[in-house]
Amino acid sequence: MSMESTAIEDRRHPGPDVGKLVQYTHLDKSYGYLPGIREAQPALFGLSPESYQAARERFVRAAREGAETLLAGTDETAAVDRWAATGPSTVLVAGDSLTDDLQSWVEILRAALGLRRPDHAVRLVNGGLSAHTSAMILRSWPATLAAVKPDVVVCALGGNDVTRVGPDAQKTQVSLGDSLANLSELRRIAQTLVSPQWIWVTPASVDEDRVAGFPPFRFGHSSWANTDVRLLADGIRGLGGPVVDLTTVFGIPAAPDLVGDDGVHPTLAGQLAIARAAVAPLARACERGQ
């Protein structure tokens, strides 16, 4: 989902939070074809390479802490062990900022695999792209599949589809029908080109009061409604196949400790809750893919 962090010379704008930019904005994913883009990122954020790396490391440590907490659970540890034991496999997670987050559920699971089985052969590709809708992902999907060649795809899109923009917003960014058509087409293209196992992850419910009070969202006239989230989640469950339903994981409205002060993006506890819900389905999908 969008972080509404573009700096604009206007006293009404809260300005960018550099820590959030580092956490959610990874220009090399979208513009990796530009020479030197990875090396240029610190300067683009106004940071030295050392400060940028230190900021990143803070989130890497948080993901590792989340992994340690995950592995304190017997069922989760067993699922991680089963997953690691499946042998070589490539898992691609297509998502938005809930996935792109440096301390996201994907990074927690990556750390858990490494802690539990350092010799595992799972290649876990974090394909999260902040602020992207299902339509935006669809445009580059065949190229992504060709580059990654996944055995398993986890599709965690839709959170930006249901964003409403503007005063008294009358529509979501992507209509419900178009969202479901886009998601179905992503799976059809993948099945045609690489035949992966497939898992859906629904958008997460939000705290509408926090959304309404968050200064960057107020400035950008961005809003989310649990009614829209629920409708899309219901539609995704109707597409068939394994589903990790984040409206169930988070509750409606989202539990206060699972989302941050913007009401949309998960806290570390929220990301850990997603990781707990996703690890067993991922283990089963990799087993089926062998």
CA–CA distance, 254 with 226 (Å, rounded to integer) = 9
Cβ neighbours of residue 177 under 8 Å, at least 6 residues apart?
A: none
Backbone phi and psi for residue 154, each to the nearest 5 degrees, phi listed first: -110, 115
> So what's the pLDDT on residue 74?
97
> So what's the pLDDT on residue 125?
98
CA–CA distance, 26 with 135 (Å, rounded to integer) = 19
CA–CA distance, 243 with 221 (Å, rounded to integer) = 31
CA distances from 288 to 137, 154, 281 (A): 26, 14, 11
* DSSP 8-state code for residue 257: T
CA distances from 187 to 151, 162, 166, 207, 268 (A): 13, 20, 31, 30, 29
DSSP calls for 175-224: -HHHHHHHHHHHHHHHHHHT--EEEEEPPPP--HHHHHH-HHHHHHTEE-
Q: Is the pTM of this model over 0.75?
A: yes
> So what's the pLDDT on residue 11?
43
> So what's the pLDDT on residue 8?
36
CA–CA distance, 24 with 10 (Å, rounded to integer) = 23
95: closest CA among 4, 5, 186? 186
CA–CA distance, 255 with 250 (Å, rounded to integer) = 6
> So what's the pLDDT on residue 45?
85
200: closest CA among 241, 146, 170, 161? 241
Looking at residue 223, its amino acid is: S
Q: Is the peptide bond before 253 cis (omega within 30 degrees of 0)?
A: yes
CA–CA distance, 49 with 125 (Å, rounded to integer) = 24
What's the CA angle centered on 62, arms 60 and 64, to 5 degrees? 70
Burial of 28 (0-12, 13-18, 19+ CB in 10 A): middle
62-288, which class in CATH?
A: alpha beta
> So what's the pLDDT on residue 1?
61
* DSSP 8-state code for residue 174: S
Tens digit of pLDDT per residue, the chain (290 long)?
A: 654 443 433 445 555 678 888 999 998 888 888 899 989 989 988 889 999 999 999 999 999 999 999 999 999 999 999 999 998 999 999 999 999 999 999 999 999 999 999 999 999 999 999 999 999 999 999 999 999 999 999 999 999 999 999 999 999 999 999 999 999 999 999 999 999 999 999 999 999 999 999 999 999 999 999 999 999 999 999 999 999 999 999 999 999 999 999 999 999 999 999 999 999 999 999 998 66
Token pair for 7: 């700096």
> So what's the pLDDT on residue 17?
78
